[in-house]
Amino acid sequence: MYRVVILGTGNVATHLIQAFEKASNVEVVQVFNRSKKGLESLPFAGNSTTDINHLMEADCYIISVPDDAVQELSESIPFSNRLVVHTSGSVSLNELNSKNRRGVFYPLQTFSKERAVDFSVVPICIEAENSIDLKVLNELASSVSKSVYEVNSEKRKQLHLAAVFVCNFVNHLYQIGFDLSEKNGIPFSILKPLIKETAAKIENASPKEMQTGPAKRNDQNTIEKHLNLLEQPLQKEIYKLLSQSIQETYGREKL
Amino acid sequence: MYRVVILGTGNVATHLIQAFEKASNVEVVQVFNRSKKGLESLPFAGNSTTDINHLMEADCYIISVPDDAVQELSESIPFSNRLVVHTSGSVSLNELNSKNRRGVFYPLQTFSKERAVDFSVVPICIEAENSIDLKVLNELASSVSKSVYEVNSEKRKQLHLAAVFVCNFVNHLYQIGFDLSEKNGIPFSILKPLIKETAAKIENASPKEMQTGPAKRNDQNTIEKHLNLLEQPLQKEIYKLLSQSIQETYGREKL
């Protein structure tokens, strides 16, 4: 049985605690959070503390706090030579204080508190400084997910960057679609089958094969019409830039 | 039984023919295409012709060709006062020649020849010049889909524009994610659960509620790191512009 302490009560921490609670070989022995408020809203009945000096003995300490708070929290840990990891995509292993054995446990998914997540399909990217710690992280990750990858800090940063494009930026395009439809009295729900199919299409084919639309067809007439319909300058800029990028992608192909 | 002639053999035409073939109250009596080649590759065993003067008698003629070819094809039709519709999102009803009764039959979905489509969940936007023709289009649409909407040309253009954002542009962001991961020796498949979840999240919530990521958090530190990682100038521009747009969306909210 692995004993784990979670530091933080954000979206990732909350879903991680719930996933570990279901695992047979992991016990979340404690949750730490600086403020009492975060702890109170947590669906966790076990031991919790707001005092970093009261951290319990464990096999792994998982820091799951905002990126810019990871370093400082790792410094404030009062002990040394234990396995301390963080869950961030863009923070390198070296930003953790070196008095402890360092590692990364990065679940590549978008988490919202209100929404249940099937952790078994969430890829978990792990990294450690030695093979024994890597094995511990591998077993922790495998206890909640079927996809575990060993990814070093350099590659993880690139992966996190790619994730921003396919998740955060994609969601913002959904938002623009939402604005355009609602503004014109069209229910957003009419676009949902299209959104679903666009995501489903790349399950078994590359996005390049699946590209469609006016920019792909070099249909300058429709592109101009669309630019005239757009009233918000930023949306116009986004339309222009993404069309240009699509045209260059397929233009380059032709050469 | 409604008799239908399809003019065109592209992705939309192909899927439409297949959907009508399964419907009990519609018969595709003929497919027209200017070139023999398109007809030969079509999974359709019925009557076909390359001669516009040999079009058969039907209740509805569905023009499904590239946007900029719709007008000319509608002009070349040798008869008048029959129901002639097109399937395009961005072409207005008025672009069809007025010698026939005009209409629109726009299936809001992304079609690829290789990929089967469940037409029953594809929203179909219909428009006609009179209530009798609208009723015909409504019955044709209802024979293949559970979601039929009456949408006029103005609204349909806005809808098509919104569709470019949530489908074509989204797919291009998948493409950038693909490039970034493959370039760094990371399999694109590691991003697929994230892509799936991002699309699934907006089934029951608005995109605005579901936005996450560095731009949403105003995490300027991570944004700078990401911009430094990006080598391709256009990708850098896209990252900047979409981050700015996200920040303005949530900044505006705070005012």
Compare CB distances from B165 to A109, A147, A173 and report the shortest one's residue. A173
pLDDT value of position A43: 87
Q: What is the rounded average pLDDT of the residues A149-159? A: 95
**Does B161 score more than 70 pLDDT?**
yes
Task: Give residue-wise pLDDT tens across range A89-110.
Answer: 999 999 999 999 999 999 999 9
Establish if B173 touches chain A: CB-CB under 8 angstroms: yes
Q: What is the rounded average pLDDT of the residues A149-172? A: 96
Mean model confidence pLDDT for chain B = 95
Size of interface A-B (CB pairs under 8 A): 323
Distance CA B24, CA B155 (A): 31
Q: What is the rounded average pLDDT of the residues B186-207? A: 95
pLDDT value of position A253: 53
Mean model confidence pLDDT for chain A = 95
**Does B54 score more than 60 pLDDT?**
yes
Q: What is the rounded average pLDDT of the residues A23-51? A: 94
Q: Which residues of B touch A245 (CB under 8 A)?
A: 172, 176, 234-235, 238
ipTM rounded to 2 decimals: 0.93
**Does B254 score more than 70 pLDDT?**
no
Establish if A149 touches chain B: CB-CB under 8 angstroms: yes
Cβ <8 Å between B225 and A159: no
Confidence (pTM) = 0.92
Establish if A164 touches chain B: CB-CB under 8 angstroms: yes
Distance CA A18, CA A38 (A): 15
Q: What is the rounded average pLDDT of the residues A117-141? A: 97
Establish if A178 touches chain B: CB-CB under 8 angstroms: yes
pLDDT value of position A116: 87
Q: What is the rounded average pLDDT of the residues A4-29? A: 96
pLDDT tier at A255, thresholds 50, 70, 90: very low
Q: What is the rounded average pLDDT of the residues B168-174? A: 98
Q: How far is B193 from chain A (nearest CA, A)?
A: 7
Establish if B121 touches chain A: CB-CB under 8 angstroms: yes
Establish if B250 touches chain A: CB-CB under 8 angstroms: no
Establish if A240 touches chain B: CB-CB under 8 angstroms: no
pLDDT tier at B255, thresholds 50, 70, 90: very low
pLDDT value of position B251: 79
pLDDT value of position B234: 97
pLDDT value of position A5: 98
Cβ <8 Å between B174 and A244: no
Task: Give residue-wise pLDDT tens across range B206-226.
Answer: 999 999 999 998 889 899 999
Residue % of chain B over a pLDDT of 70: 98
**Does A254 score more than 50 pLDDT?**
no
**Does B253 score more than 90 pLDDT?**
no
